[in-house]
Amino acid sequence: MMNDNTPPVSVRFVDIDADREGQRIDNFLLAQLKGVPRTLVYRIVRKGEVRVNKGRVKADYRLKSGDVVRIPPVRVTPASEPPPASQQLADLLENSILFENKGLLILNKPSGLAVHGGSGINLGLIEVLRQIRPQEHYLELVHRLDRDTSGCIMIAKKRSMLRHLHKELREGRVQKYYHALVAGRWPERCREVRAPLKKNELSSGERMVRVDSDGKESLTEFRVLQHYQGCSLVEAKPITGRTHQIRVHAQFQGHGLVGDSKYGNDEVNKAMKAKGFNRLFLHAAALSLLLPDEDKPLLVRAPLDERLSVPLQRLPLL
């Protein structure tokens, strides 16, 4: 197997061993093609230039031991090193750690920080962690959170942990719990929203998701935590893992998230901003997962940051 992660200038073939089994082809390519824009990686997959065992695959194809991946020639200017993280950001992330062992790091991601660089972002969460933890030879995102979403995020410190958690995620054994403040009074009887979601990419590259009968089956469970004057705090548990799923399902139900400039209500957002809500109110509040060789699930909770908790305390209860 070739380990050169520089973009190839001629076709090369990579044999997949058991260590890479279960990894998505898009994530594999992003690791292999350092410095290549994500949009280009997805384009060469979509056009069939990337082949697995001589056949075309989609970006979500999961590699199997024994697969042979054809990687086409790609010419790009080598990516420059990301700028050094500020001490303030480094300290913030170190102080945001919620759980750590030899194989896993879980932290409370701040809102406004992308999980990785790219698309005009020089420095993301994973790049900062690699800078401030140079002794860690392996740090990889287990899953993603949108830039404006805060809360629990998992980073694997070993490939074996990454494989384990990806398997747990695929088989629905990792439970994710989000807290969201939504406009209006969420009905107690509405315990789930089941609506197919279809993702579209605008010419600007922006992703938009909408409910569409041609979309992928999607299910989110909801539970009311507290009614406030003009809004409700709900717990959202995504059963499927679609892009922007909670935000679009809440909008579909008629209760867009507070601070959501893409799927929310502009008038509601303006009124709530006057009350101190200056960001999207979507927070990955807790994770429940089973670690290897453990019998009991690990439950990790992430507290709300002050930008959400302080204005929330001022709202009149109902």
| % the chain with pLDDT above 90 | 77
| % the chain with pLDDT above 70 | 93
Residue 3, pLDDT score: 46
> Average model confidence (pLDDT) for the chain?
91
Residue 248, pLDDT score: 98
| Whether 51 and 128 share a structural domain | no
Asked if residue 214 belongs to a domain, the reply is yes
Asked if residue 301 belongs to a domain, the reply is yes
Report pLDDT digits (tens) over 80-92: 667 888 999 999 9
| Whether 142 and 107 share a structural domain | yes
Q: What's the average model confidence in pLDDT over 199-222?
A: 88
Asked if residue 81 belongs to a domain, the reply is no
Domain range enclosing 153: 87-168
**Catalytic residue flag (residue 146):** yes
| Whether 154 and 134 share a structural domain | yes
Residue 217 has pLDDT above 50, yes or no: yes
| Whether 203 and 265 share a structural domain | yes
Residue 15 has pLDDT above 50, yes or no: yes
The catalytic position among 26, 67, 146, 260 is 146
| Whether 143 and 192 share a structural domain | no
Residue 120 has pLDDT above 50, yes or no: yes
Report pLDDT digits (tens) over 265-280: 999 999 999 999 999 9
Asked if residue 82 belongs to a domain, the reply is no
Structure tokens at 193: 């929203």
Residue 2 has pLDDT above 60, yes or no: no
CATH number at residue 22: 3.10.290.10
| Whether 285 and 212 share a structural domain | yes
The last residue of one of the domains, among 142, 168, 194, is 168
Residue 143, pLDDT score: 94
| Whether 43 and 104 share a structural domain | no
Give the global pTM: 0.79
Q: Report the first-to-last Cα separation within the chain, whole angstroms.
A: 62
How many domains is the chain partitioned into structurally? 3
Asked if residue 188 belongs to a domain, the reply is yes
| Whether 113 and 183 share a structural domain | no
Residue 1, pLDDT score: 44
| Whether 109 and 126 share a structural domain | yes
| Whether 127 and 197 share a structural domain | no
Q: Higher model confidence: residue 156 or residue 18? A: 156
The helices-and-strands tally (H runs, E runs) of the chain is 8, 16
- Residue 202 and residue 58: Cα distance in Å, rounded? 20
Q: Higher model confidence: residue 74 or residue 185? A: 185
The last residue of one of the domains, among 117, 150, 168, is 168
5 pLDDT tier (thresholds 50, 70, 90): low
CATH number at residue 203: 3.30.2350.10
The last residue of one of the domains, among 168, 190, 224, is 168
| Whether 164 and 207 share a structural domain | no
| Whether 262 and 310 share a structural domain | yes
Residue 78 has pLDDT above 60, yes or no: no
Strand positions, DSSP E, 50-196: 51-52, 55-56, 68-71, 97-100, 104-109, 140-141, 150-156, 175-183, 192-194
Residue 62 has pLDDT above 70, yes or no: yes
Q: Could you give the residue ranges of the DSSP H alpha helices within the chain?
A: 25-32, 38-46, 87-94, 125-132, 159-170, 245-252, 266-273, 306-314
79 pLDDT tier (thresholds 50, 70, 90): low
75 pLDDT tier (thresholds 50, 70, 90): confident
Which candidate, 11, 2, 13, places its Cα nearest to that of 52?
A: 13
Asked if residue 2 belongs to a domain, the reply is no
